[in-house]
Amino acid sequence: MIFVDVHAHLQDKRFEDKAKIVDDAVKKGVKIIINNGLELESNRETMELAKKFPAVKAALGLYPTEALKLSEKEIDAQLSFIKKNKNKIVAVGEVGMDYLRSEEKERQKNIFSRLIGLAQEIDKPLIVHSRKAEEDVIRLLEEKKAKKVVMHCFTGSMKLVKRIEKNRWLLSIPCTVVRDQHFQNIVKEVPITQLLTESDAPYLSPAPGQLNEPANIIRSIEKIAALKGMEREEVANNIFSNYKRLFE
């Protein structure tokens, strides 16, 4: 059985012994960890991690609030960095929009739109953050006719979840599904063929107040199995096929 974590931030300074974190995950069967960069430095670190650990795959991105700190020229440089590494990465992420932390909606739309275009140009899936901007994010992705999309830790309404499902995009379920009704509802509503699992490590731990790790994906698999009335193995196999269909 292979478990998959499509969204982790192992570059986080709080992870002192990264080899141990990866090793613990792999021992538990989490053999694929997509590390997501947020800006130039963590994108570089993501490339290093992917080079060092066979289980780690690279996603390079530009987090919405990080992007807003940059000039247009610096954004160009970030986009070129992603493009230059296209053969070494499995996705463009973490990207998206965040209206909770910033009201600069038009600039966010402009930058996100460019990132969608880049992902299409290099034919990679997008791993999308959409806090308090869910409908605008979906609309923009639809307008640009994006096909390969993972909505990460999606906290929008069930109506929007249905729209994501209809668009044939995927939803990655965080480890908080063990205690969060919203994600439990998503798991019950959305077909297993459109679900993925993510840690968002070090965030979104199944146990509040702790640092999250990719190894905890196993707890999400157990919860999803219980919610869907499926065997653990069946859930893991489905999610692994979803991963392969989208990222390989």
The residues that touch Zn ion, with contacts defined as CB under 5 A, are 94, 200
Using an 8 Å Cβ cutoff, are 97 and 129 in contact? Answer: yes
Least separation in angstroms between CB 8 and Zn ion: 8
Using an 8 Å Cβ cutoff, are 154 and 130 in contact? Answer: yes
Least separation in angstroms between CB 156 and Zn ion: 16
**Nearer residue to Zn ion within complex by CB, 5 or 94:** 94
**Nearer residue to Zn ion within complex by CB, 8 or 140:** 8
**Nearer residue to Zn ion within complex by CB, 81 or 203:** 203
Least separation in angstroms between CB 146 and Zn ion: 19
Least separation in angstroms between CB 238 and Zn ion: 23
Q: Which of 135, 179, 178 is nearest to 154 (CA)?
A: 135
Q: Is 78 helix (H, G, I), strand (E, B) or coil?
A: helix
CA distances from 78 to 29, 84, 118 (A): 33, 10, 11
**Nearer residue to Zn ion within complex by CB, 130 or 184:** 130
